[in-house]
A and B are shown apart, each in its own frame.
Chain A
Amino acid sequence: MSDLTSLTVAGALSKLKTREISPVDLVQAYAKKLEENKKYNAFVTLVVDDALAKAKDAEQKYLNNTNRRLEGIPLGVKDLFCTKGIRTTACSHILDNFVPPYESTVTQNLLDDGALFLGKLNMDEFAMGGSNETSYFGPVVNPWSKDVPLVAGGSSGGSAAAVAAELCAAATASDTGGSIREPSAFCGVTGIKPTYGRCSRYGIIAFASSLDQAGPICKDVTDCALLLNSMAGYDPKDSTSSKRDIPDFSSFIGQDIKGLKVGVPLEYRPDGLNPEIASYWDSAAQILKDCGAEIVNISLPHTKYALPAYYVIAPAEVSSNLARYDGVRYGLRIEGNNLDNLYISTRSEGFGTEVKRRILIGTYVLSAGYYDAYYLKAQKVRRLIKNDFDNAFQKCDVILTPTSPVEPFAIGDTKMLENPINMYLNDIFTVSVNLAGLPAMSLPIGLSHNGLPLGMQLIGRAFDEATIFKTAYHLERGANFVRM
C-alpha cells in the first residue's frame, strides 16, 4: 500500500484514470506514512480525515468520468497560504490560533481542479529564514539526515521535506529570496518560483509584497508543470497578478533544446566556491551541451550587491506588512493598560527573534533621514540587477547556476546562528532572481561526498517558464538523480 506514496502526481493520475487505484487508497497510504514519520516535523496541522472524506467524492468523479485535472491528488500546503476553516499560522506565535474565513486564490485554484489537502506545512516564521529554524513549531528535519539532524532549508522546509519523504504527492510553497529553491535543493526535490505575477498573492500571508511569489515543490519537473498549470492565473483580487496567457506548461516537457543558449554567469563562481558544487555545475552544463544546447559565458556584474539590496528592500516591506499584527483584529493579544502597550506587548511576545530583527531594520531604513541612503539606494541597485539580467538574456535563453553555495547543514549550526549574515549569504544564488522578478527552478543534480543532495538552478526570462521546463526536463534525465 505504501508504494502508492512513491508515485509522482503524473503517475498517480494515470493510475487513477484507469481506476487501477482510487483516491481513497492514495489518501490512506499517505495517512499511514504521515503517522510513521512525525519525526520530520514537516506538518504543523493535519486534516487527513477531511481529505479522506473528499477522496470518496473524488472516487465517485472518476467513476462517472467527471474528474478534474488534479482529482484526488493529496497535497501539502505551506502554512503561509490561508485555507478556509483550517488553522493558518505562518508558523508564528502571533497567529497560532488564526482560522481564516477565506481561501487563498492559489489553494482555491488547486481545490477547483480536484486536489485534496492533507494539512499545513512547517516553515520559517512568516517565511523569514533559510533553515526552517525560526518556526514557532520547531525546525523541520531533513529526511536525508544521517547521524546528525540536518536542516531542510527554508523557508519552505516543510514543503520540501514532506515531498522528499513522500508525505504528500506535492506541495505549495512560496519564494521571496530563495524559499522554494533552497529547501528543494537541500531535500533533493524540484521546485519552481514562477515569474512575479504568475500566481496570485491573494490570501498568502504577506512577507515582502514586491518579491513574494507562490510556486510548487514536487518530486520532479513534470509534476511542477502540472501543479503550476493549476496554481497560475490572473486574479482580480491581486492587482499585481498578470493577465498574460498561461501556456500549458506540461506541453514543453520533452521538447528538444538543440541550439538553445545556456548562460553561465562568471560572478556565480567566486574563489572558494565549494569544489563539489562547482564540479556538478560543470557536469550539468555538459549534460545540456550533449543535448544540443550551446553554453555561453555571461556576466551579471551587480551580483555582489543583490543580498545587501535585498536586506534593505525585504525588511522595509516587512516592517510595513507586519504592522497589521496589533492584537486587535486577529491573532495573539497581550493586554496592556493602554492601546500602545497592547500593541507593544502583543508584538513583542508574538514575533520571534528573526522577524523582530527584520522589522527593526526595515523601520530604520524607512525612517526619516535614512530613506534615501538605504531604501532608495537599494531600489536603484535593484534596477541595475534587473538590467544585468536583461543584458544577459540578449546573449542566452536560460541561465544555469548552482542553487545554493552549501549543502544541508546541522540544525543549530553555531556558525549560521552566531551571525545572521552567515545565514543570509546562503541565498547568494537565489535572491537576484526575486529582485528581478524572474522565474527560476531548482532541481537535484547529485549527492555530495556526504551523501547529501545538491541542486542546480535554471533562471528564465520573465514569463518564459516554458524554456525552464524544456531545459529542466533534459537536465533531470541527464542527472538521473535517485529520489529518497
Chain B
Amino acid sequence: MAVDNDTVEKIALLAKLKVNPEKLNDTKLEFNKILNWVEELSEVNTDNVLPLASVNDETLTLRQDVVSDGHIRDNILKNAPAQEFGYFVVPKVVE
C-alpha cells in the first residue's frame, strides 16, 4: 500500500502539521519505506488472535464521581501562552 503526495498532505492536515512543499516528496518516500517495512506483519497468521491493547490485567479502580478541579486554576494558567480573565485565549472561532 504505497501512499502518494496527496495522501501525505491529507494525513498531515489531520495531524495538524504542515509538510513543506520542497520536502513533500522525501516525506512520501520515507513514509513508504516505513509502511513497506511494517507490511511484514501481514506474513503473520493472526486468525482467532485477540488484539492486545494493554498488558495490564488488573481491574480498574472505581472512585466517587465527584467534581475536583484541583483548585489550581491560576497555576495552570501560568503556562498559557495567552490568557485573559482566567481563560485560555484563542483566535476568534465564531463570526
Among candidates B3, B56, B80, B81, residue contacting A364 with C-beta atoms closer than 8 Å: B3
CB contacts (< 8 Å) of A351 on chain B: these are 17
The answer to the question of B67 belonging to the interface, with a C-beta cut-off of 8 Å to chain A, is no
Q: How far is the CA of A340 from the CA of B93 in the complex (A)?
A: 10
Chain B residue with minimal CB distance to A382? Answer: B52
Q: Using known A-B contacts A312-B38, A344-B17, A360-B8, determine if residue A384 contacts B58 with beta carbons closer than 8 Å.
A: no
The answer to the question of B66 belonging to the interface, with a C-beta cut-off of 8 Å to chain A, is no
Q: Is the CB of A339 within 8 A of B30?
A: no
- Contact size range, A: 35 or more
Q: Is the CB of B44 within 8 A of A239?
A: no
Q: Using known A-B contacts A338-B91, A421-B33, A421-B34, determine if residue A377 contacts B42 with beta carbons closer than 8 Å.
A: yes
Q: How far is the CA of A344 from the CA of B20 in the complex (A)?
A: 12
Q: Is the CB of B34 within 8 A of A386?
A: no
Q: Is the CB of B18 within 8 A of A304?
A: no
B40 to chain A, nearest CB (A): 5
Chain B residue with minimal CB distance to A197? Answer: B56
Q: Using known A-B contacts A242-B58, A378-B41, determine if residue A101 contacts B79 with beta carbons closer than 8 Å.
A: yes
Among candidates B14, B63, B82, residue contacting A333 with C-beta atoms closer than 8 Å: B82
The answer to the question of A348 belonging to the interface, with a C-beta cut-off of 8 Å to chain B, is yes
How many B residues have CB within 8 A of the partner chain? Answer: 51
CB contacts (< 8 Å) of B51 on chain A: these are 376, 379-380, 382-383
Q: Is the CB of B17 within 8 A of A360?
A: yes
Q: Is the CB of A347 within 8 A of B16?
A: yes
The answer to the question of A311 belonging to the interface, with a C-beta cut-off of 8 Å to chain B, is yes
Binds B, one of A51-59, A277-285, A324-332: A324-332
The proximity string for B residues 1-33 relative to A, scoring 1 for CB distances below 8 Å and 0 otherwise, is 101000110011011111000000001001101
B19 to chain A, nearest CB (A): 8
Q: Is the CB of B91 within 8 A of A339?
A: yes
Chain A residue with minimal CB distance to B59? Answer: A243
The answer to the question of A2 belonging to the interface, with a C-beta cut-off of 8 Å to chain B, is no
Among candidates A210, A305, A347, residue contacting B53 with C-beta atoms closer than 8 Å: A210
The proximity string for A residues 348-371 relative to B, scoring 1 for CB distances below 8 Å and 0 otherwise, is 100100001101110110010010
Interface residues of B, Cβ cutoff 8 Å to A: 1, 3, 7-8, 11-12, 14-18, 27, 30-31, 33-35, 37-44, 46, 49-56, 58, 60-61, 63, 72, 75-76, 78-82, 88, 90-93
- 14 residue pairs bridging A and B, Cβ less than 8 Å apart: A99-B79, A101-B75, A239-B61, A305-B44, A312-B41, A323-B16, A328-B90, A347-B15, A351-B17, A367-B14, A378-B41, A379-B53, A384-B44, A462-B55
4 nearest CB pairs, A to B: A437-B55, A379-B51, A333-B81, A330-B79
